[in-house]
Structures are given as C-alpha cells and as structure tokens.
Amino acid sequence: MVTLNWNWVVNITGICTLTAYFLEINGFDNRVTVFMERMENIAVHVADNKIDKELLLEIIQSIIYEYDYSEELKLKLYQALS
C-alpha cells in the first residue's frame, strides 16, 4: 500500500503553479501547459520518494528545454518508478 504525504502534494502543487508563473514571466510561456501537465504526474512520485531531487532537476530541465524526454531520461524514470 502506498502512503502519500498529502500536505506535501498540496505544497508541490502550489510550487508548480508558482514555477509556471515564473516560466511565463521569463519568456517560457509556451512551456507552461506542458510543465503543468507533466509535473502533475511527477509530483505524486516525488511525494512518494520514488524520484529524487537530481532526477527531478533533469525532468524540469527537459520539460523547459526539450520537446520530449530523452531516451536516457525515460529510462531513468522507468527505473525510478518500477
């Protein structure tokens, strides 16, 4: 059974919203929708400690600068979530 810290999930949702705002004001407004959609799924895994901060940084950088996750990042995500 998976136990999540829902307070943390609520906090990460607020953080994602604030990050989306910063993306918009810094010229990455074309990435806000993608960021919010992907981070909605990632936040639960971060709260469950399946994704560490190094992998999270790679994910965020990928969302901002790349069209899709690289094959290497997809493999890291697969390994972290299995």
**pTM greater than 0.85:** no
For 18-73, how does the pLDDT look when each residue is reduced to its tens digit (9 = 90+)? 888 999 999 999 999 999 989 888 888 888 889 999 999 999 999 999 999 999 99
For residue 60, the tally of other CB atoms under 10 A from its CB is: 17
Q: Phi, psi at residue 75, to the nearest 5°?
A: -65, -40
Question: Is the model more confident about 2 or about 48?
Answer: 48
Instruction: Please give the pLDDT value at position 5.
Output: 59
